[in-house]
Homo-oligomer: A and B are copies of this chain.
Amino acid sequence: MAYIKLKDIAKKANVSINTVSRALNNKSDIGDDTKIRIRRIADEMGYILNASASRLRSKENRMIGVIITHIDNAFYARILQGINDAISEKEYTMLALSSGENLEKEKSLLKTLVSNRVAGTIIVPSQDMINSLDYDNIGVPHITIVRKGNKNTRSYFISDSFQSGIKAAEYFIQQGCSHSAYIGFNLPVSCNRDRVNGFIKGLRDAEVILKENRIIHCDATPQAAYNAATEFLKNDKQIDSLFVYNDSMALGVIRAAHDLKIRIPEDIRILGHDDVAESRYYIPSLSTIRVPKYRLGYDSASELMALINDNKAPEKYVSYLPELIIRES
């Protein structure tokens, strides 16, 4: 099946191709009557713009690329929502891809985006502590989110993970806990490192030492966290507080404690991170550290829009302050 093109409309309307183009693009210097007439004809014929041709000629592409690490992750899903809302307002479309935390894959996705000449990109750099991709070199405005990245980036939007760690520590101390542990993500990402470091610092400020063997790392799934926590809690009976990398893992940890007949919060306090929508419905409902996910997505996309429209927009580094949410755990 062949698509209708400007030429077909031009023939039917008895005008030049260019006139049709101007009419459909709402350009000036075209009579209202002809414009309306042409638009009606185009509609009737079921015309749908060939975006490739349009982009090739005009060099304009109202599409941005987004690379996250995992689609099936409530945290990123919420960020995507924010991004999407911000760009929809300006009639942009989002091409979202996921790297699976794989550097090679991320590189190839980036190539796909540039190949499509997207107007800009928003990237969660996979394994950012060892990621040496040079985003500055891709020739497209870009913003890094969630993680800082290794290379200098034009702008980034992150949640202050060091502060998360501090707040977690302060909370545990305040609750009278003296034997804390951390279950984190086993890949070299700055947000995990910062969270650990903040946690250590916060505890030390209260003269509590977080021992090496109370810092555990595993995959960022409830399954892995369940296994890790089970193993750990079986061996270390003193533990009275656990800070977990994210809510999804915390769910696994809660379940592990439950299965070991360890009471929450009487025997052990559990603190998650991110404040995913479901966490308030868990039993016990999950105390956590809230990250403004939607806002982070929305703001970063807005900034990207600014970068796109004004290539000289200043660099912008935004770090949101996370918020402690105390619930039942």
Contact = CB atoms under 8 A, between A and B. Distances in A.
Interface stretch (A30-38, A46-54, A120-128, A153-161): A46-54
Contact of A254 (B71, B96, B283): B283
Interface string A245-256: 000100110110
Nearest to A75: B72
A322 B232 CA distance: 36
Interface stretch (A77-85, A181-189, A199-207, A209-217): A77-85
A226 B94 CA distance: 33
B74 A81 contact: no
A216 to B, nearest CB: 18
A70 to B, nearest CB: 9
Nearest to A253: B281
A151 interface: no
A77 B71 contact: yes
Interface of A is mostly: helix
A222 B277 contact: yes
B114 A226 contact: no
A55 interface: yes
Contact of A56 (B56, B114, B282): B56
Interface in A203-237: 221-222, 226
Contacts of A226: 281
A95 interface: yes
A174 interface: no
Nearest to A264: B283
8 contacts: A3-B117, A71-B96, A77-B77, A222-B281, A254-B283, A255-B283, A258-B283, A278-B278
